[in-house]
Structures are given as structure tokens and as C-alpha cells.
Amino acid sequence: MHSLNGQKIVVASHNEGKLREFADLMAPFGFEAKSAKEFDLPEPDETGTTFEDNAYIKAFAAAQATGLPALSDDSGLCVDALDGAPGVYTANWAETPDGSRDFGMAMQRTEVALQDVGAVDPAQRKGRFVAVICLAFPDGAAEYFRGEVEGTLVWPPRGELGFGYDPVFLPNGFEKTFGEMSAAEKHGWKPGQPEALSHRARAFQKFAQARLGSA
């Protein structure tokens, strides 16, 4: 197993929301985490067909370019009534003609797709957020940690916190959408606590347990 001694890790993302979440999750462990953006690294094309594929593409590109271990995740919303869509193409559903991303538009697109298949009752609007974290090293070695959280798609969007599709995702057992939760509520886990809430926090918890010795 490759060592993480030195405690320097590149977070292979240019997504400000993801970077904030990773910073929150890594803070208790004293890691010096720098983003791919800080290294002026280009964003590689995500050509994979699975979350694991795309997480590896990003993490390995950053590790190879910097000579440091790199951590990346690929995540998405998988809606049962849409046969798992948007899935690995979750970010693509937010793309605009000018190359930017509009997640308000993406949430609207998801809602239109649900209406088109007649998914109007909560029981018909089940889905999950999935996150796969990849820890990659400059020699190409990699480890994967997967987290999922089940929930229901609501409409209209609720809350202005979080990012992406958070305002339309109501996790099972809660009355707040991810868009209405603070970062602490959404993560729902710190070292020494038994359970994480968000998909990214659950994946990170597995990484922490395997690599950082935290239960």
C-alpha cells in the first residue's frame, strides 16, 4: 500500500462546491490539500462510462502532473424512474451552449423528464446520490471508495445551500433537502462518529477508515 506520509494531497477538482466539501472533510486530519486549480492543471475530459472511470481519470492526471497523491471524486444523481439517469452524465445535464453549467436548468430538465414518464407521486420519484472517491498515485496505482445516499426528488427546489442538485434531493428520514442543510448537517459525520449522511461524506468516511485510521 502506498504511503500518504507527508500529508500533501491534491484535490483533483475545479468545482468550488466540491472543493469546499473536501476541505471540510479533510480539516480534522491536518492534511495540506491543494486543488488542481491552484496548480493550474487543465480539466481532463471525463470519457468514462462509470463513476470509477471518471474519478480515476481526474485523480491520475493530477497525480501524474504534480508527483503527489491525488484525490478525486465523480458523483451523480441516479433516478429510478429515469432508468438511472442522469447518472455519470449528471454534470452534462447542466451544460449550457457557452460551456458553463446551470444547475437550475439541470434540475428543471430532471423535473420535466420525471413529468414526462408520469412520476408525480413521491414513491415514483426515488433515487440516490452516488460518489466514488479515487485516491491515485503518480505510478498509476489507485484505490476506490464508494458512498451512496437514498432519497426522493422534490419539486420545486428548496434551499440555497449546497450546490448542484442539492435543492431537489430529500434524503430518506429527513425533512430538509440537501439544499436546506448546513455543511455540518449534510456531512453528518466527524471522526469518532459512526455514520455519515451525504454520499461524498460516506465515501470519504470509508477513505478515512482505510487510509487515515479513523473509525
Cell of 58: 481526474
Residues 165-198 have pLDDT tens digits of 999 999 999 999 999 998 888 876 555 555 788 9
For cell 413529468, the residue is 115
Write the single-letter amino acid at 54.
N
Residues 114-125 have pLDDT tens digits of 999 999 999 999
CATH number, domain containing residue 207: 3.90.950.10
Position 78 scores a pLDDT of 98
Residues 1-25 have pLDDT tens digits of 687 766 688 999 887 777 877 877 7
Would you say residue 200 lies in a domain? yes
**Does 150 count as an annotated binding residue?**
no
Would you say residue 3 lies in a domain? no
**Does 206 count as an annotated binding residue?**
no
Would you say residue 165 lies in a domain? yes
Q: One of 40, 53, 73, 74 is an active-site residue; which one?
A: 74
Would you say residue 2 lies in a domain? no
Verify cis geometry, omega within 30 degrees of 0, for the bond prior to 122: no
Separation between Cα atoms, residue 49 and residue 27, nearest integer Å: 31
Domain limits for position 55: 8-212
Q: Is the pTM of this model over 0.85?
A: yes
74 an active-site residue?
A: yes
Number of domains comprising the chain = 1
- Per-chain mean pLDDT for the chain: 89
Percentage of residues of the chain with pLDDT beyond 90: 62
* The CA-based dihedral angle spanning residues 54, 113, 95, 59, taken in that order and rounded to the nearest 10 degrees: -10
Residues 31-59 have pLDDT tens digits of 777 888 888 898 898 899 999 999 999 99
Q: Which of 24, 19, 1 is nearest to 182 (CA)?
A: 24
Question: Residue 150 forms beta bridges with which residues?
Answer: 128
Position 111 scores a pLDDT of 98
Over range 65-91, report the average pLDDT. 95
Separation between Cα atoms, residue 170 and residue 168, nearest integer Å: 7
CA angle, residues 15, 18, 24, in degrees to nearest 5? 140
For 66-86, b where at least 16 C-beta lie within 10 A, e where not — what string?
bebbbbbbbbbbbbebbeebb
**Does 146 count as an annotated binding residue?**
no
Would you say residue 13 lies in a domain? yes
Position 33 scores a pLDDT of 77
Cell of 26: 479533510
Number of neighbouring beta carbons within 10 Å of residue 2 = 14
Would you say residue 180 lies in a domain? yes
Going by their DSSP bridges, the two strands 32-35 and 8-11 should be labelled as parallel
Over range 77-99, report the average pLDDT. 95
Burial class, 13, CB count within 10 angstroms (exposed 0-12 / middle 13-18 / buried 19+): buried
**Does 5 count as an annotated binding residue?**
no
Cell of 67: 508527483
For cell 433516478, the residue is 79
